Amino acid sequence: MRTLTFVVGTGRSGSTALSGIVNAHPDVLSLNELLSSVQSRGFPEGPVTGEGFWRLLADPNPLFERMIRSGAPMPEFVYTRRPGRFSTGTTGIPALSLMVLPHLTDDPDGLFDELEKEVRGWPARTAAGHYEALFGLLCARFGSTAVVERSGYSSDRVPLLRRAFPRARFVHLFRDGPDCALSMSRHTGFRLIFLMREILARTGAERVEELTGEQVRSLPPELSPLLEERFDPALVLDRELPVAGFAALWSEIVVRGVAHLGGVPAPMRTTLAYEDLLDRPREELARLAAFIGVEPLPQWLEAGAARLDAGRRGASLRLPPAELAALREGCAAGERALAEGRGQAALGNG
């Protein structure tokens, strides 16, 4: 029986490297950033036609399009580095094409066309039913027996995923708090998330999409342009943002994520620390393979170990003492939650 596993976490935790390693296993269908690509609009309630489901996959992600248009793309946007027939300036880049399909094939446009021919004719069913059918179609296409979806900034989606896919397994991937928060502070996507959260805090709105014209006009000039179709990338890339603020963000995400995962039956969840992966790559990858239901092939273990970069560890230790102390203080709540979570689930117990 085909297995389905979601690797969830804060992002900036070695998750992109892990996607590459998992993708190299011949029995795994690695869906890189599928949830990030479709976001919450990807799970509408009620029956969805095949045409409607295809639009969820094929319509461009508005925020990602704005980032590309403004010259502030994320490094995860694989399609823009090897562009095909789609572009932000003309057609828009389909959500599925930006990060998911280039991870699977060197011909993402060709695979996009293959999927379109099938999916648009599917009967109406729930969005979850469509995703299951899509997973099956792709597994048949690539000869896979296990599906692993990995998106950054994804732990808040655990309740939604549990409802949609009751038999899904979950891997909580995390990294040393100060190192992760420092990496967030240097990443385009997380810097934009930080600024969008500031916009919501200033206006009292719950979602950016719900901002009124009056609320937008009340924002200072360094924030309001970020809501336009094109913004000055310097507003995101060059602003001085407090690193300690990213530590607080990291803790907030981790605390909620651990709580969400605590509701998942123990055999269906596990944890994976990035530092453990660096220290014991073959052992950790072997246990991960067992959890997702594939063989820990020796050649795959060796290749996976070779892809991991131990030099990424301890970056926060090079900060001035005061900055490092502020990072550690901001990460303390998240670190406590992780310690509790690790006590509840160990890799390979599933």
Give the mean pLDDT of 315-340: 96
CB-based burial of residue 160 (10 Å sphere; 0-12 exposed, 13-18 middle, 19+ buried)?
middle
Confidence of residue 344 (pLDDT cuts 50, 70, 90): low
Q: Which two tokens stand for residue 335?
A: 């670190």
Contact 226, 195 (CB under 8 A): yes
Q: How confident is the model at residue 4 (pLDDT cuts 50, 70, 90)?
A: very high
Rounded CA-CA distance 194/242 in Å is: 10
- What pLDDT was estimated at residue 102? 97
Tell me: pLDDT of 254 over 80. yes
CB atoms within 10 A of CB 149: 25
| pLDDT computed for residue 312 by the predictor | 78
Q: Which residues contact 22 (CB under 8 A, 6 or more apart)?
A: 7, 28, 30, 148, 150, 288, 292
Average pLDDT, the chain: 95
Q: Which residue has the tokens 């994320």?
A: 74
Global pTM exceeds 0.85? yes
For the cut 80, the answer to whether the pLDDT of residue 342 exceeds it is: no
Distance CA 100, CA 113 (A): 14
Task: Supply the pLDDT for residue 347.
Answer: 45
3-state secondary structure of 8: strand
Residue type, 315: A
Q: How confident is residue 324, by pLDDT bands cut at 50, 70 and 90? A: very high
Looking at residue 152, the DSSP 8-state letter turns out to be S
Q: Please compute the mean of the pLDDT values over residues 258-283 and round it to a whole number.
A: 96
In which band, very low, low, confident or very high, does the pLDDT at 343 lie, cut at 50, 70 and 90? Answer: low
Confidence (pLDDT) at 145: 98
Q: How far apart are CA 145 and CA 1, in angstroms?
A: 7
DSSP string, 308-325: --GGGTTGGGGS-HHHHH
Q: Is the pLDDT of residue 336 over 70?
A: yes
Rounded average pLDDT over 319-332: 96
Percent of the chain with pLDDT over 70: 98
pLDDT in tens, 138-191: 999 999 999 999 999 999 999 999 999 999 999 999 999 999 999 999 999 999
